[in-house]
Amino acid sequence: MCRTRAELRVGFEYSSVGCASNHDRVIGMHFVNQVDIARPIATVFAYVPDFENVPAWNYAIDQTHKMSEGPVGVGTTYRQLRTLPAPSEEEFEATAFAPPGHVAINGVIGPFDAEMKYNLEPHENGTRLVNQVILRGRGLAGAVGQLGGSRIKSAVATNLKELKRILEAT
What pLDDT tens digit does each residue of the chain (170 aa) get? Answer: 333 333 333 344 444 343 333 444 556 789 999 999 999 999 999 999 999 999 999 999 999 999 999 999 999 999 999 998 889 999 999 999 999 999 999 998 888 899 999 999 999 999 999 999 998 885 666 566 666 778 889 999 999 999 999 999 98
Q: How far is CA 115 from CA 20, 77, 111, in A?
A: 21, 14, 13
CA angle 20, 143, 23 (to 5 degrees): 25
What is the three-class DSSP state of 163? Answer: helix
Q: Which CATH superfamily is domain 7-169 in?
A: START domain (3.30.530.20)
C-alpha–C-alpha distance, residues 129 and 146, integer Å: 25
- Name the residue ranges covered by the structural domains of the chain: 7-169
